Structure 1
């Protein structure tokens, strides 16, 4: 397998996604990059993110939302605005063990948990309706 180059585009994308706490989509990441003065093509961003997911550098959280935090943690997805937030609930290794015991035909490696709710901003907006 050929070694992938460490281009300036890759370095910038990694740096920005690690900074963000917003679990950006590809388009919102491109918008953020442009806001910071970087012009990186959509196909380059997709390719870098795909490689980063394969290498465990970022996580593909939900559809096209990415997370620079690869530590085991949970997420909350707002049903109104579709943004994703990190949950404050500590990761529960015991849930993985429960899966190991319940589905013993499988090799269970880890688990993901996503809460569905309404974020504080959308909750406020709904109050004003």
Structure 2
């Protein structure tokens, strides 16, 4: 246990690294972007936008820049071409087990809610 996280009975505080991680992963659309890049490996902006369809181009562009600054996504440019591609860095690819755990949790706990939403919508 890290020294930032205290035992029961003491004052509880979250580890700053944990809080930083959730400030990245908890931001709307970041998880979806990471998930697409985990499965599709390299994507052009328009293809990525197609996978994360409800995210506006402006927000997608902002999120990609933020993920690039965090060292999770790499933006590849090609000299003499207008082509730009995005892929995960090694740091981003190491999120695969985290995303798998989120899938497992959602498979177990979100099915009833999703069924209800589909009936309403």
TM-score range, shorter chain: 0.3 to 0.5
Whose helix proportion is higher, 1 or 2?
2
The normalised TM-score by structure 2 is 0.45
